[in-house]
Amino acid sequence: MKAANFDYVRVASINEACQALADGGEDARIIAGGQTMIPLMAMRLARPSLLIDINDVSELAGITVAGDHLIIRAGTRQADTLASEVVKSQLPLLADALSHVGHTQTRNRGTIGGSLVNADPSAEIPLIAQTLDATIVAQSTRGQRTIAAGDFFDSAMATTLAPDECLVEARFPIWPSENTGFGFHEVSIRNSDYALAAAAAQTTLDENGNCLRLSIAICGASPAPLRLINVEQALTGSELSDNMIKAACANIDDLIDPQSDVHADAAYRGRVAKVVAARAIGDARDRAKGILV
């Protein structure tokens, strides 16, 4: 399990990275944490011709708040994000989901941007980006552009990022904290495996406890993380009773497209997706009401 040969360059700035990508051709790849890329290279399932190491690019690390958005630079380590107080207070859904991502050791290297670009259909960080309508910022020698999460995730392990583009940051909307709660549920075989199915929800309730706003997305049951728009529509304005949630989440067969693999068949994933979706919404509601901490 040794990687095929490749060239390597370490860059110090985003511009250098973009230039190297532009010069390196189609098989050049950015590497940051490498926690997914390197195993694929070891199995020779990935064989980039050039690795562009962005670990020294200090402008690619950091978490800031700008207005009603929390901005996570692409090279920010998952561990640093998980430990961030501002993430815990402003984006608790992401903090909760991050504790399910890999292990301490992989989180110490793995980055937020790396996970987004990898776009594993079972991965938690893309799920949260999708749930919260994050905006992805990409840069190339051609300039910078923003991509809505809904347009970013294309299919399993594929995004709409162009080959010469470097992901720069993800902007997560911060919801007003009053009467807002989140829920995250994941079913995996072992504690830290990729999700067989996972769901993330965030809701804001009105003064009567009815649902003012709801975002719910699932992963593991479709080629890319999937917003359950019809569930959101069905439940917005409702009192979010357990029965209503369950009924709404039972009605997603037309949206999902679960796949079978060695770990679970499509039927299992489909059924469990509904379960985690309902649980995530229920927890979001309870947190919004302050019942669940």
Partner 1 sequence: MTDTTAAKEYRYITKKRRVTEDRRFITGRGNFAADYNLPGMLHVAMVTSPYACAEIKGINAEAALALPGVRYVLTGAELFENINPLLSGLDLPNIKRIPLAHERARYAGEWVAAVVAESRHIAEDAVELVEVDYNPIDFVIDPEEAMQPEAPLVHPQHGSNILCDKSWVWGDVDGDFDAAPHSLAFRARWSRCSTIPIETFVVTAKWDEGKELLDVWASIQMPKYPEQIARALSLPVNAINVHFDVDVGGSYGLKRGIRQTVIVSYLTRKLRAPVRFNEDRLENMSGGEMHGPDRIFDMEVAFDDEGIMHSLKIKATDDAGCYPGRAPLQLGKPVSAIVGPYRIKSASYNAISVTTNKTSQEAVRGFGQAPTNFAIEAMVDKVARKLGMDRDEVRRRNMIRADEFPYRIPSGSEYDSGDYHTVLDKLQTSAGWQELLTKRDAIRAEGKLAGVGISTCLEPSGGNSSFEPFFNPKNDTTTWMESCLIKVDMLGSITALMGTSTSGQGHESLLSVVIGEILERDPDTIRGVHAESLGALPSNSPVGSRMAIMLGGAAAGAAEKIKKQLLEIAAHNFQLPVDRLIYDGGDISVEGDPDKVMNWHLLIDIAHRQYHKMPLGSEPGLQAQHTWEVPTGGALPAEDGTVQMYPCYAFEAHIPLIAIDPDTGQVEILDYHMGHDCGTVLNPDIVRGMSLGGIAHGIGAALYEKFEYDEGGQHLSGSFMDYLLPSSHEIPHVEMVKHYTPSPLTTFGQKGSGESGYLGAPAAIASAVNDALAPLGKSIDTLPMRVRDIEALLNGQTE
Partner 2 sequence: MSEHKITLTVNGREMSGHAEARLTLVDFLRDVLGQTGTHIGCEHGVCGACSVVMDGKPVRSCLMFAVMADGHEITTVEGLEGPNGELSPLQDAFWENHAMQCGYCTPGMLIATHTLLQENPDPDEAEIREAIGGNLCRCTGYQQIVEAVQMAAKKVQEAS
β-pairing verdict for 135-140 and 166-173? antiparallel
Nearer to partner 1 among residue 142 and residue 271 (C-beta)? 271
To partner 2, the closest distance from the beta carbon of 4 in angstroms equals: 7
Nearer to partner 1 among residue 199 and residue 231 (C-beta)? 199
To partner 1, the closest distance from the beta carbon of 88 in angstroms equals: 23
Residue 263 touches which of partner 1, partner 2, none (CB < 5 to 8 A by kind)? partner 1
Q: Which residues form the interface with partner 2 (CB under 8 A)?
A: 1-8, 10, 31, 33-35, 38-39, 41-43, 51, 53, 55, 79, 102-106, 108-109, 191-192
Residue 209 touches which of partner 1, partner 2, none (CB < 5 to 8 A by kind)? none
To partner 1, the closest distance from the beta carbon of 15 in angstroms equals: 33
Listed residue (149, 293, 147) closest to 219, CA to CA: 149
Residue 6 touches which of partner 1, partner 2, none (CB < 5 to 8 A by kind)? partner 2
Residue 79 touches which of partner 2, partner 1, none (CB < 5 to 8 A by kind)? partner 2
Q: Residue 59 is encoded by which pair of tokens? A: 């402008």
Residue 53 touches which of partner 2, partner 1, none (CB < 5 to 8 A by kind)? partner 2
Nearer to partner 2 among residue 47 and residue 142 (C-beta)? 47
Q: Which residues form the interface with partner 1 (CB under 8 A)?
A: 1-2, 4-5, 39, 43-44, 187, 189-193, 196, 262-265, 267-268, 271-272, 275-276
Listed residue (74, 70, 88, 97) closest to 14, CA to CA: 74
Q: Could you tell me the end-to-end alpha-carbon distance of the chain, in angstroms, rounded to an integer?
A: 45
To partner 1, the closest distance from the beta carbon of 6 in angstroms equals: 12
To partner 2, the closest distance from the beta carbon of 191 in angstroms equals: 6
Q: How far apart are CA 28 and CA 255, in angstroms?
A: 35
Q: How far apart are CA 196 and CA 144, in angstroms?
A: 35
Listed residue (77, 74, 80) closest to 60, CA to CA: 74
To partner 2, the closest distance from the beta carbon of 65 in angstroms equals: 25
Q: How far apart are CA 252 and CA 291, in angstroms?
A: 28
Residue 109 touches which of partner 2, partner 1, none (CB < 5 to 8 A by kind)? partner 2
Strand partners, 187: 197
Other Cβ atoms closer than 10 A to 206:
11
Q: How far apart are CA 131 and CA 224, in angstroms?
A: 12
Q: What Å distances lie between residue 1 and 4, 43, 130, 238, 293, CA to CA?
A: 9, 5, 34, 54, 45
